[in-house]
Amino acid sequence: MPNEQAVARFCAFFNKLDKTCTEKLYEVYTEEVVFNDPLHHIQGREALSRYFATMYENVERCQFTYHTQQQQGKQAFVTWTMEFVHPRLARGKPVRVAGCSALTFADDGRVTQHRDYFDAGAMLYEHLPLMGQVIRWLKHRLN
């Protein structure tokens, strides 16, 4: 059964993750891990490694600030704020996105299921040149 150390290891891993260290995924994830976020559904550690390598290819910086952690049995929930810099988003300025990770751990303390919840518009769409203007306008109109 996982413990606080498994959750801490997961959080620390994400603050070290970049395009050069995806080969260390085996320390945190099981071979058959299932990963979901608002934009992707990925099965297997090998596919997850390719996804992270591609995602981090142009990211200049990515840092997580962790807030609340809840754990019960093999389940854990971690709230976070991610700040990243990508040269093609927000004119290269930092983008901040709040989110939550729902994790299921295997008996050995590695993650077997990982689901991220966040606003995909706040992360990506709002920072694209044309689409961003439309989304910001719509949000303004709805408020």
Instruction: Give yes or no for a contact between 1 and 74, defined as CB atoms under 8 angstroms apart.
Output: yes
Find the mean pLDDT for residues 98-123.
91
- How is the chain split into domains, by residue range? 4-142
Going by pLDDT thresholds of 50, 70 and 90, the confidence category of residue 83 is: very high
CA distance 47 to 58: 19
Find the mean pLDDT for residues 63-74.
94
- Closest residue by Cα to residue 5 from 88, 94, 96, 69: 69
pLDDT number for residue 128: 58
Strands 40-43 and 61-72: unpaired
For residue 112, CA distances in Å to 14, 15, 90, 105, 125 come to 16, 19, 33, 5, 29
Question: Residue 99 gets which letter from DSSP?
Answer: E
In this predicted structure, the answer to whether residue 61 has a pLDDT above a threshold of 90 is no
Let me know if domain 4-142 sits in CATH 3.10.450.50. Answer: yes
Model confidence, pTM: 0.82
CA distance 117 to 122: 12
Q: List, as one string, the DSSP characters of 50-97.
A: HHHHHHTSS-SEEEEEEEEEEEETTEEEEEEEEEEE-TTSGGG--EEE
